[in-house]
Chains A and B, each alone.
Chain A
């Protein structure tokens, strides 16, 4: 292909990537390097608040009030703070203090345990802890579930395949907030699951009461949500597995499992890599179940921190800092997968 033609073809996608990915990313990094606030001064203010029934109550208190410019507009102060936002968001100083703090626990496991508890008491590191647990736990599970689904649907009769594929894809179609809510409502007190388990004589089970059950629930939700993606990619891949090799394997006396392990899986390896790659990026940004399950005491996530900083602290710079940390985390997470894919690409002629 001539260079001109090539550029002509890739230009639209390069342009849209610049516009939709690179520019916002630069914007987020820029925001993370600054800190801004409305300039205020403490002023004694008498507020009058109506009470019910015609009464009202005066309150006198010191309240920060905006300093206005000559047009009566509040003045916004922008300060360049460099890495300060990132350092504060990642709580790196506190982490250092915890790691170097002298500990008087008797045994090494006790010492590590107390150190771990101190670390996961920090907002960022506790969010990071569950984010990583979620990533590590959901990846193999969703691969396994997706692959088994793909194998099962592949063996179904032609008439059934269409509806099976549709049903399997449903979790991916439903908006995550909505499906999280649905799951949350299933497991609340006196909701269907708890009631059924009680009727079966298993007693009252409270799924949202401690770290273990709530985390299992979120991970199960994550697998349910992500498996259809693995399923559809792997199902497509199954259609390309050469029938001759499979038949040859069977003729040579391979069991069905051996055929899958020795023929199908190696054939699908590049697809597994793609699915893992995309799921890692996705899982690292887990957010909806954390918010919807009100699970922050037992399971937080990095995206939840972005949301809190943005919508409650009203601090776009801190939110940007968390976002930058998320991007850095994803890049680190993907590096090994990218390297191995690149090696594979190079080794195949």
Chain B
């Protein structure tokens, strides 16, 4: 009986503690005002932390709800185009903001930023501007970088590849090493991710996705073919299942020591050294993305994540803004310095952020923020797999993608 009693007692204690904790937490969050704030965000560790921070602002009379969902790409546009949005705020990124901004669904935040600039120490480098309008307040940055096994490259005397040609040559050398299942891994499984991988290389090849004046697809030209042919070559050194393996799977292959190099988002670098989930602690090095052409740019794009408020919210924008700013205030960054790449100036870059910093210094451009590109990603992701699988030529796949893009852009009213 004793264990049961102990268990009951601790359960009771936990319940009491959680009952009192909101009032304790309120000491940290000092928001005046009452009402209800609903925020929808994507689902990854940093956003989970920020969601918890927002919820700490809840008190009698002020209800704070945060919906964390990977389906935000579907849910946010639905909510923001309705007569009234059940969500008063949302976390978005480069590509997801454009569909909302171009449809005029976002509230300019200039007044709120001016009002609370001092209270929350909102820094200029956190503001996303479209023309004169501040449309989002960003808090973190991200870019895809090259993860590599230091021990394996050293064993073969291979230098860290700086171009994709060097990477292919390195993979050729690693063939037959029993330690390596597959030389390279990248997220080719999920449509969106596959399209994104294409765009990373394509932009570095000097390509332009769509004509800026007419919105016509231009990704099926020679740069596109070169990009896709390179991707097919890379796929040759990946798991034969690569077209069915998404980002989570690639991360796992790296952590399980099955692959020598991988192209992954920079913000998860620390997870390679987490002994609870990784078998390759201290063995993984980080480098900027390889160049697509020897004399060209590195093949990666720069991303940010930030908060927006829709025009059609059913709550109070002032209150919503305060709750969101409360979550990303300077103290949050100080207390959680290592979990991501914060944009605030009090962030102290860690060794995990180094490769992203170098990417910026090397001139990685921001992911193009136009709604046409958002449509192009999916058109590409849905169609170029055929060429990578060897079912058809690169040109034919790209023409199929261009056709799908044209259809979608016409329906969206961008193409006449």
Contact = CB atoms under 8 A, between A and B. Distances in A.
B60 interface: no
Interface string B79-121: 0010000000000001000110011110000000000000000
A121 B126 CA distance: 45
Given A313-B411, A315-B411, A74 B105 contact: yes
A21 B156 CA distance: 65
Residue of A77, A308, A318 with most partner-chain B CB within 10 A: A308
A77 B378 CA distance: 24
Residue of A295, A296, A315 with most partner-chain B CB within 10 A: A296
B22 interface: no
B206 interface: no
A64 B258 CA distance: 44
Given A49-B302, A66-B103, A315-B411, 10 more contacts: A38-B81, A49-B369, A53-B360, A54-B125, A63-B98, A121-B400, A188-B249, A296-B191, A297-B388, A311-B74
B138 A50 contact: yes
Interface in B346-396: 349, 353, 356-357, 360, 365-366, 368-372, 375, 378, 382, 385-386, 388-389, 391-392, 396
Interface of B: 71, 73-74, 77, 81, 94, 98-99, 102-105, 124-131, 138, 141, 181-182, 189-192, 212-213, 215, 239-241, 243-246, 249, 253, 256, 258, 302, 304, 311, 341, 343, 345, 349, 353, 356-357, 360, 365-366, 368-372, 375, 378, 382, 385-386, 388-389, 391-392, 396, 400, 404, 407-408, 411-414
A114 interface: no
Nearest to A298: B389
A313 B258 contact: no
Contacts of B181: 189-190
A73 B104 contact: yes
Given A57-B365, A63-B370, A45 B130 contact: yes
A314 interface: yes
A51 interface: yes
Contact of A56 (B125, B244, B341, B408): B125
Interface residues of A, number: 60
A312 B191 contact: yes
Contact of A208 (B125, B241, B411): B241
A202 interface: no
Given A51-B302, A51-B360, A294 B245 contact: yes
B382 A37 contact: no
Given A208-B244, A312-B73, A42 B213 contact: yes
B213 A62 contact: yes
A66 B241 CA distance: 42
A40 interface: yes
Interface in A182-205: 184, 188-190
Contact of A206 (B240, B302, B360, B375): B240
B103 A38 contact: yes
A46 B388 CA distance: 36
A294 B239 CA distance: 14
B207 to A, nearest CB: 15
Residue of A47, A88, A207 with most partner-chain B CB within 10 A: A47
Given A42-B213, A59-B369, A294-B244, A49 B408 contact: no
B129 A47 contact: yes
A209 interface: yes
A62 B212 contact: yes
A311 B73 contact: yes
Contact of B356 (A52, A73, A308): A52
Interface string A79-91: 0000000001000
Interface in A7-36: 35
Contacts of A208: 241, 243-245
Contacts of B77: 314
Contacts of A46: 129-131
B141 A50 contact: yes
Contact of B414 (A64, A293, A295): A64
| Closest 7 pairs between A and B when the two form their complex, measured CB to CB | A66-B104, A297-B385, A208-B244, A37-B413, A74-B104, A209-B240, A206-B240
A93 B249 CA distance: 39
Residue of A52, A67, A74, A298 with most partner-chain B CB within 10 A: A52
9 contacts: A40-B102, A49-B304, A51-B366, A65-B104, A74-B104, A294-B244, A296-B385, A312-B192, A317-B411
Given A52-B357, A296-B385, A308-B378, A40 B128 contact: no
Contacts of A51: 125, 141, 302, 360, 366
A72 interface: yes
A55 B241 contact: no
A163 interface: no
Residue of A45, A67, A295 with most partner-chain B CB within 10 A: A45
